[in-house]
A and B are shown apart, each in its own frame.
Chain A
Amino acid sequence: MPDQRFRVTAGPLDANAVASIVSSPDCGAVTTFVGLVRDENGGRRVLWLDYEAYEPLAVKAFTRIDEEAGERWPSIGLAIHHRTGRVEIGQPSVVIAAASPHRAEAFAACRYAIERIKQIAPIWKHEHFEGGEVWIEGATADPMDDDARRMAFAQCS
């Protein structure tokens, strides 16, 4: 059975369900990050987003992010679910849950995970806006780029 913590799915995301995967009796804190589709980007009226993923590599990227976070914060448990396909305004495109005995590590690991997703997860968004469409292209994905990894850690301290 695949690891339920790391998923790419065309179905709707449920933050509580993702949080429950990592919650356990020894965890006093669970933080969730829910990324939502926004109705504006760079002055454009966004109508919806279409997400495309290289699914097996995306799941491996999530696993790698978990390993990286675990080296820094050994007590955390992490889950990442990301959408593919059409996602409407206000709907979640990504849910991250980080659980830890204490809150500081849970907040930090959650932030680290979203920063790294944007750097190395092979996922693309196709923005449909009033008057056109455009592929949003962000970072050249390179998991071995230590500078990028340090930048992600720097966001969390």
Chain B
Amino acid sequence: MFVTIRLFARLREMAGAAELRRELPDGSIARAAWDSLVRDFPDFDDYTKAVSCAVNEEYARMAAPLNDGDEVAFLPPVSGGT
């Protein structure tokens, strides 16, 4: 299956892309998408403990199952407000 990965802030800069497409085995969970990013961008591992994830524009756990066509977003620690 194919998923779209959205990246923000420092993760976006480290990857050099705001959006990536990844092929994952059927039945994969969000963590598998993250692990595939860490393989391509080893520095991402600094964020493995701190990153949040969202699937199809809703916060989700790293154990959330993915389906073909899903949008998976990985969110570094947030700093909105002031």
Residues of A within 8 A of B (CB): 35-38, 51-54, 56-58, 60, 82, 93-94, 114, 117-126, 135-144
Q: Give the interface size bracket for B toward A.
A: 20 to 34
Query: In the assembled complex, which residues on chain A have CB atoms less than 8 Å from the CB atom of B79?
Result: 118, 123-125, 135-139
Q: A126-B9, A135-B10 are in contact. Are A140 and B50 (CB under 8 A)?
A: yes
The residue of chain B having its C-beta at the shortest distance from the C-beta of A8 within the complex is B80
- A53 lies within 8 A of B10 (CB): no
28 A-B contacts, Cβ less than 8 Å apart?
Answer: A35-B81, A37-B82, A51-B80, A54-B8, A54-B57, A94-B81, A118-B79, A119-B78, A121-B78, A121-B81, A122-B52, A122-B54, A122-B78, A123-B80, A124-B9, A124-B10, A125-B79, A125-B80, A135-B79, A137-B10, A137-B50, A137-B76, A137-B77, A137-B78, A138-B79, A140-B50, A141-B59, A142-B52
Please judge, given known A-B contacts A94-B80, A141-B78, whether A57 and B10 are in contact too, CB under 8 Å. no
In the complex, which residue of chain B has the Cβ closest to the Cβ of A138?
B79
Contact, CB under 8 Å: A140 / B81: no
CA distance A156 to B51 in the complex (A): 28
A53 to chain B: closest residue by CB: B80
B6's closest neighbor in chain A, by CB?
A54
* B5 contacts A by Cβ under 8 Å: no
Question: CB within 8 Å of A: which residues of B?
Answer: 6, 8-10, 12-13, 50-52, 54, 57-59, 73, 75-82
Complex: chain B residue closest to A114, CB-CB: B81
Find the A residue at minimum CB distance from B73: A54
Q: How far is the CB of A58 from chain B (nearest CB, A)?
A: 8
Give complex CA distance A137, B13 in Å. 14
How close is A133's CB to chain B, nearest CB, in angstroms? 10
Q: Which residues of A contact B76 (CB under 8 A)?
A: 124, 135, 137
A142 to B57 CA separation, bound complex (whole angstroms): 14
Please state if B81 and A93 are interface contacts (CB–CB under 8 Å): yes
B75 touches which of A51, A122, A126 (Cβ 8 Å)? A122
Q: Out of B10, B59, B75, B81, name the residue touching A117 (CB < 8 Å).
A: B81
